[in-house]
Amino acid sequence: MRKFIPVVAAAALAVTAAAQSPPVLFQTPMSPRNANYAIEASLDAKSHVVKGTERIRWRNIQGAEAKDAYFHLYYNAFANNRSVFISESGGQLRGDRFDKLHWGYCRVTSIAQIVDGKSVPLKQEFSGEDRTVMKVDLAAPVPPGGEAEFEVAFEDQLPKVFARAGYASEFNMVGQWFPKLGVWQGEKGWNCHPYHANSEFFSDFGVYDVTLTVPKDYVVGSTGVQWAEEAKGDTKTLKIRAEDVHDFGWTASPHFVDKTETYDGVKIRVLMQPVNAPHIPRYMDAAKKTIELYAKWIWKYPYPQMTIVDPPAEGMGAAGMEYPMLITAGTSPFMTAALRFPEMVVVHEFGHNWWYGMEANNEFEEAWLDEGINSYYETRIMDEWLGKDDSMIGGFAGWHLGDVQQQRVPYISIPDVDPIVLDSWKYMNNGTYGAMSYGKSAIVLSTLEGILGRPKMDEVMRAFFNEVKFTHPTTADFLRIVSREAGRDMDPVLKPLLYGTGTVDFKVARVKNVSREETEGYDLTANPPRLVGDEPKGKGKEKASDKKDAKADGKAKADEPKGKDKERVFDSKVTIQRKGELVLPVEVLVTFKDGTTKLEKWDGTGRYITYKYEGAEVVRVIVDPDTKIPMDLNLLNNGWATKSDGLPARALTTRFRVVAQGLMVLIANLL
Amino acid sequence: MRWIEAIKNGFLCGRRGLLGACIFYLEALLLSSLALAPLASGLHRVLDEAPTAAPLAGGAGLDRLLETAVNQPGIWSAGFGTVGFAFLLHAVLALLITAGATGLIARAPEGSPWRAFWRDGASLFLPFAGLLLMSLLLLVAVGILPSLLVAGLGKALKESVSAGAFWGVIGAWAVIFLLLLTVFKGATGFTQARRALGDGSEGLGRCFLGGAKFSLKKFVPSFGFTAFFLLLRIATVWGLYMAVAPGYGTGGRAFVSALLLQIAFAVQAYIRVWEIGAQVGYLKASGGAYEPPPVAAPAPVIIPEAEPEPPIQEPLVTA
């Protein structure tokens, strides 16, 4: 059925373009469609002002009457330094700095409610100095199941690109640009937070019919599908429709290189900066891989189109952002093929069309539900596609880095400052917000996969997505569905990970190999008992009292004949310690001198566990050999072996010396 | 082309300065090894006993390297604490070695080259430091205009620039960089050569002006020298590094990689001496060396021919 939809959509597009009425993209709505927008807007390319009107049809799908309505006016975050956003961010975000010479705003010039066919003006109210949230008292309250219709006229001054949107020279990234309803939660009221530095967005699904007027030579990309275009003088007007989405973003620039391909029924359109045009295939390949693997693991991409926008170097603040059916990526001519950042950004932002786009969680309050789950799937796609050790850096000057490893980096740097589940504005800073919502969340899910196994994890996540798609799920929904699908209560594992700041560090605490020949004292099997120590001791007699001694013994014995080793019997003890508050199960791989191995499974309860063996000497112990628990803060103490290996340190030192020596040679050559 | 001839001769001249090349190479090797010794020891302490560190040998698992920074930050602070000092020391030593090598090549002294190297190094060190400072000042003065040009080109890199145009601009930047490098290297190299070839009687300022003037007058050869040796250096290091970098993964190949890199650095050291030889030779052949003014011979003193003294007449003695 889903395969059928794009065909229907394509046919509908062809017919309706001729008939000049919007097409129907989905015969059966996928979402509640309770917040529908018909917007007409025009861009003044010189002043970067967007003027528009919108007609909003909103249906109350909650069980309580709505007497007022709240709207987001996101661009007012950039109106002055009194806004919550600028106050919190200090004008800096994601490595970008706000240009205080180019402020922006969203001004509602009029708002009215249509009551009995008449337009009744509504009074705008604001709370405090931040004007990113506007309240109106309704002229006619909306009962459960009832509808309200608003007419709004607005004017946006785009700021210079900062925090996802704005303009840079002739490039315009127009996101979060129209007055937009918050989410009505019945008895809990409206969920409509101010625009915070760390927060993203939250809104209801609907149908968007948007008419955009731009200069004639501008290339436009947007959420939805364009179904009509009409030129008039120096301008052109585009008609666009999107269904079952909760936002609408668009971009316009006269300089885009416009390239389109179709993959698995989805039209992939790349709007590229000319300078980056050679990287179009990289974006395309990443988009195709995302479509392919999400269809396999979660759900087929249901929309007929995806537009990927490449911002210019001076507008990189707009890079790496998601909108329904439209994402922004980011690359540079210097980004060699071994550096997989452009691919990763496309995979990540495209993935948001599932996690945020269709699973429309409240990003203000539980950002991990989209950022974290999406980051987890980003690591999976990148690893599956490019290899788990090469998915971020694939051999650049001999260095390699996988995406899971990359996600671990912020987590192990600041593992316990904030919990994952937290209102976005309550994090200590943007760094902990990022480390928790992206890195640690992805690592938590990788750990969950390690516990459940990939097949079960896939079942769980598929069930979760299918149950919550086109709704507003919460962490409680996630926990409920995971436990149900896993067939066991996963709360004891997941709640501390999501709500707590505890950490875990497994380590090999002690390994002891004691040869049976070492018996001391009286041999009671002899008659009369004799003191063992009185006899000449066997060659190679040893006693390993601790980990260090065992290592020395192992080294000493390494050169002995194998036949003799086989005859010797050891009593060995391996002690694994769990540091930190988190209780997680872990595997331990023990290797014996005769080449046999044993995989132990410890449920992680207690502070340590000791395994006892009889037979061949233990020569190597690895805790979590397949790195199923990437939550482990220190992987370097997860191993023990009788033979030390100086190669990693030597190789690293050589690399550093090459750099140091190279710089010294450079200096000598300049003097 | 006299400057190409000079490059050829410089290679042979460089052979004369093999001692200088060896000292250049060994100094960088020893100093970098000493500077990184604490880091190396720290890494061995942490990683040798950790079987899970194995991927790091092949340049993979960088998150584990970060773990060492998080869990044992002392390794890195101690490790890099010595590096800054080592680089400062290196700057001084490298200038001393440059002075020694230039003296050895320019003066071709008789006797022990080892002693001559250090003697010339010591005597030319301070003048070379002064000349280097003047070259830097010249670079700043000359660099203002191209820097403005670079800034202008950067501004021109708007979204409408095509990939071809972008790389064209990058190429223009490279040319500007090369021109500035030429000015700097020419001024430094030729003034150093002039000083080493001279007898030390020329004032430092005059020496610098003479060398700089020479490098500007012979700009094309100077540019040729810079471009030739720069390309040679880039080819040696970059090519070899890219070729051997993947080899770090396994024990044997790691050793071969490290060995090849050391050979590359030794070649670099020789290139430096070669460059000095070429500059000295070209300066000499093109008449750029300082010629001390001839010492004026004292005016001949004309001694007037003495009047013949009248013969002393013996008094007649009569009896």
Judged by a CB distance cut-off of 8 A, whether residue B50 touches chain A is: yes
Instruction: Name which of A220-234, A314-328, A457-471, A634-648 the model is least confident about.
Output: A634-648
Query: Is residue A20 predicted with pLDDT exceeding 60?
Result: yes
Of A277, A637, A652, Cβ closest to residue B163: A277
Q: Please tell me the predicted confidence (pLDDT) of residue A537.
A: 45
Among A147-161, A451-465, B255-269, B280-294, whose mean pLDDT is lowest?
B280-294
pLDDT of residue B293: 67
Reduced to 3 states (helix: H, G, I; strand: E, B; else coil), residue B280 is: helix
pLDDT > 90? residue B164: no
pLDDT of residue A545: 40
Predicted local distance difference test score (pLDDT) of residue A140: 97
User: What is the pLDDT confidence band of residue A565, given thresholds at 50, 70 and 90?
Assistant: low
Q: Most confidently modeled of A36-45, A98-107, A541-550, B52-61?
A: A36-45
Q: Quick one: pLDDT at residue B313?
A: 58
B90–A409 CB contact, under 8 Å = no
B-chain residue closest to A387, CA distance: B60
Kindly state the average pLDDT of the residues B62-70. Answer: 85
State chain A's mean pLDDT as an integer: 91
Q: Calculate mean pLDDT across residues A613-621.
A: 94
Integer angstrom CA distances of residue A379 from A163, A374, A382, A414, B209: 24, 9, 5, 20, 61
Sheet of A225-232, strand order:
A118-121, A105-115, A147-157, A49-59, A35-44, A206-215, A235-245, A225-232
Range with the lowest mean pLDDT among A6-15, A92-101, A293-302, B220-229? A6-15
User: Within an 8 Å CB–CB cutoff, is residue B252 touching chain A?
Assistant: no
Mean pLDDT of A601-622: 95
Chain A contact for B164, CB < 8 A? no
- Residue A181, φ and ψ in degrees, nearest 5: -65, 145
Q: What is the pLDDT of residues A391-422, one digit of tens each?
A: 999 988 788 999 999 999 999 999 999 999 99
The model's confidence at residue A142, banded by pLDDT at 50, 70 and 90, is very high
Among A238, A234, A233, residue whose Cα is nearest residue A213? A238
- B250 versus A425: the higher-pLDDT residue is A425
C-beta atoms of B50 and A276 within 8 A = no
- For residue B263, pLDDT beyond 90: no
Contacts B62 to A, Cβ<8 Å: 393, 399-401, 405, 409
Confidence of residue B18 (pLDDT cuts 50, 70, 90): confident
> For B246, which residue in chain A has the nearest alpha carbon?
A398
* Interface residue B55 vs chain A (CB under 8 A): yes
CB contact at 8 A, A156 and A75: yes
Instruction: Tell me the pLDDT band of A555, cut-offs 50, 70 and 90.
Output: very low
Residue B205 banded pLDDT, cuts 50, 70, 90: confident
Q: For position A193, what pLDDT does the model report? A: 97
Residue A225 pLDDT: 97
Q: Is B144 on the interface with A (CB under 8 A)?
A: no
Mean pLDDT of all residues belonging to chain B:
81
Confidence class for position A3, pLDDT limits 50, 70, 90: very low
CA distances from B153 to B73, B162, B170, B175, B183 (A): 43, 14, 9, 13, 21
Rounded to an integer, what distance in angstroms lies between the CA atom of residue B186 and that of residue B219?
A: 8
Candidates B20, B114, B285; CA nearest to A669 is: B20
Position with higher pLDDT, B221 vs A51: A51
**Are the C-beta atoms of residues A75 and A166 closer than 8 Å to each other?**
no
Cβ-defined contact of B166 to A333 (cutoff 8 Å): yes
Flag whether residue B196 sits within 8 Å of chain A, measured between CB atoms: no
In this complex, the residue of A278, A395, A636 whose CB is nearest that of residue B68 is A636
**Tokens matching residue A657:** 């010396």
Q: What tens digit of pLDDT does each residue of A369-399 get?
A: 999 999 999 999 999 999 999 999 998 878 8
Q: Whole-angstrom Cα distance, residue A113 to residue A67?
A: 12
Tell me which chain B residues have a C-beta less than 8 angstroms from the C-beta of A252: none
Q: What mean pLDDT do residues A199-204 have?
A: 95
Per the model's pLDDT, the better-predicted residue between A162 and A522 turns out to be A162
Residue B312 banded pLDDT, cuts 50, 70, 90: low
CB contact under 8 A, A278 and B163: yes
A429–chain B nearest CA distance, Å: 20
Contact A274 B86 (CB under 8 A): no
Contact B237/A at CB under 8 A: yes
Please give the helix or strand (H or E) that residue A459 lies within, else none.
helix A454-468
| Preferred mutation among B62, B157, B185, B255 to probe A, highest tally of A CBs within 10 A | B62
Mean pLDDT of the region B168-177: 80
- pLDDT of A43 reads 98
Residue A668 and residue B86: Cβ atoms within 8 Å? no
Q: State which of A34-43, A545-554, B123-132, B174-183 shows the largest mean pLDDT.
A: A34-43
Query: What's phi and psi for A82, nearest 5 deg?
Result: -95, -5
Q: For chain A, say whether B253 makes contact (Cβ under 8 Å).
A: no
- Grade residue B302 by pLDDT with cuts at 50, 70 and 90: confident
Q: Is B126 on the interface with A (CB under 8 A)?
A: no
Q: How confident is the model at residue A568 (pLDDT cuts 50, 70, 90)?
A: confident
| A509 contacts: CB under 8 Å, gap ≥ 6 | A547, A575, A576, A577, A608
pLDDT value of position A558: 40
Hey, are the CB atoms on B159 and A641 less than 8 Å from each other? Answer: no
pLDDT of residue A170: 93
Which of A381-385, A552-556, B195-199 reaches the highest mean pLDDT?
Answer: A381-385
Handedness of CA B55, B59, B63, B65 (dihedral sign): positive
Nearest residue on chain B to A172, judged by CA atoms?
B159
Question: What mean pLDDT is predicted for residues B311-318?
Answer: 56
pLDDT confidence of residue A482: 98
| Model pLDDT, residue A554 | 41
Q: Which is more confidently placed, B244 or A120?
A: A120
Least confident range from A315-319, A331-335, A627-631, B64-68: namely B64-68
pLDDT at B215: 82
Say whether pLDDT at B299 is over 90. Answer: no
pLDDT band at residue B14 using 50, 70 and 90 as cut-offs = low
Judge contact between A630 and A404, C-beta under 8 A. yes
- Of A147-151, A341-345, B110-114, the least confident: B110-114
* B226 Cα to chain A: minimum distance (Å): 11
The burial of B312, by beta-carbon neighbours within 10 Å (0-12 exposed, 13-18 middle, 19 or more buried), is given as: exposed
Task: Indicate yes or no: CB of B158 within 8 angstroms of CB of A169.
Answer: yes
User: Do the strands A305-309 and A266-272 form a parallel or antiparallel pair, or are they unpaired?
Assistant: parallel
Q: Find the mean pLDDT for residues A503-521.
A: 88
If residue B26 lies in a helix (H) or strand (E), which one and from where to where? helix B18-47
B43 CB within 8 Å of a chain A CB: yes
Contacts of B91 in chain A (CB under 8 A): 667, 671
- Note whether B158 contacts A412, CB cutoff 8 Å: no
* Distance (Å) from the alpha carbon of A451 to chain B's nearest alpha carbon: 20
Nearest to A337 by CA among A291, A295, A293, A278: A278
pLDDT: which is higher, A498 or B282: A498
Which residue of chain B comes nearest to A505, CA vs CA? Answer: B71
Say if residues A616 and A593 touch (Cβ distance below 8 Å): yes
Which residues have CB under 8 Å from A449's CB, separation 6+? A457, A628
* A104 compared with B306, residue with greater pLDDT: A104
A279 neighbors A335 (Cβ within 8 angstroms): yes
- b/e map A282-312, b = 16+ CB within 10 Å: bbbebbbbbbbbbeebbbebbbbbbbbbbbb
Mutate to test the interface with A, among B158, B177, B181, B225 (most CBs of A within 10 A): B158
Distance from A249 to chain B by nearest Cα, in Å? 20
Question: Does B182 contact A at CB distance below 8 Å?
Answer: no
Residue A563 three-state SS? helix
Could you give the dihedral angle defined by the CA atoms of residues B6, B11, B16 and B18, in that order, rounded to the nearest 10 degrees? 140
pLDDT at B310: 65
Distance (Å) from the alpha carbon of B162 to chain A's nearest alpha carbon: 4
Q: How confident is the model at residue B115 (pLDDT cuts 50, 70, 90)?
A: confident
Indicate if the pLDDT at residue A533 is higher than 70. no
Do B132 and A671 count as a contact with CB atoms less than 8 A apart?
Answer: yes
Alpha carbon distance A237, B255 (integer Å): 66
For the residues A604-630, what does the mean pLDDT come to?
A: 95
Give A603 or B80, the one with higher predicted confidence.
Answer: A603
Residue of A nearest to B49 (CA): A644
Is A244 a residue whose pLDDT tops 50?
Answer: yes
Q: For residue A274, which residues of chain B lie inside 8 Å, CB to CB?
A: 159-163
- Tokens 């003799």, residue? A564
Report for A591-605, B10-24, B57-71, B73-87: range of highest mean pLDDT: A591-605
pLDDT at B206: 86
ipTM: 0.84
**pLDDT category of residue A496 using cuts at 50, 70 and 90:** very high
Is residue A398 classed as helix, strand or coil in its secondary structure? coil
pLDDT, residue A295, reads 98
- My answer on whether omega of the bond before B38 falls inside 30° of 0, hence cis, is no
What single-letter DSSP state applies at residue B83?
H
Q: pLDDT-based confidence at A567, cuts 50/70/90?
A: low
Q: State the pLDDT confidence band at B254, using cuts at 50, 70 and 90.
A: low
Residue type for A65, please?
Answer: E
Would the pLDDT of B5 be above 70?
A: yes
CB contact under 8 A, A636 and B184: no
Number of H helices, E strands in chain B: 10, 0
pLDDT band at B158 (very low <50, low <70, confident <90, very high): low
Distance in angstroms (rounded) separating the CA atoms of residues A467 and A122: 38
Residues 6+ apart with CB under 8 A from A82: A129, A130
The helix/strand/coil state of A308 is strand
Using an 8 Å CB-CB cutoff, list chain A residues near B257.
654
- State whether residue B162 sits within 8 Å of chain A by CB: yes
Please tell me the predicted confidence (pLDDT) of residue A589. 97
A245 contacts A205 by C-beta, under 8 angstroms: yes
**pLDDT band (50, 70, 90) for residue A561:** very low
State the number of CA atoms in the 13 A half-sphere of A269 facing the CB.
21
What is the per-residue pLDDT for A553? Answer: 42
β-pairing, A49-59 vs A171-174, is: unpaired
What confidence category does residue A52 fall into, taking pLDDT thresholds of 50, 70 and 90? very high
**Is residue B129 less than 8 Å (CB to CB) from chain A?**
no
Question: How would residue A2 be classed by pLDDT, with cut points 50, 70 and 90?
Answer: very low
What is the radius of gyration, based on Cα positions, of chain A? 31
What are the two backbone dihedrals, phi and then psi, of residue A513, each rounded to the nearest 5 degrees? Answer: -115, 120
- Tokens representing A568? 């010797």
Number of A–B residue contacts, CB under 8 Å: 226
Radius of gyration of chain B (CA): 30
Contact A389 B71 (CB under 8 A): no
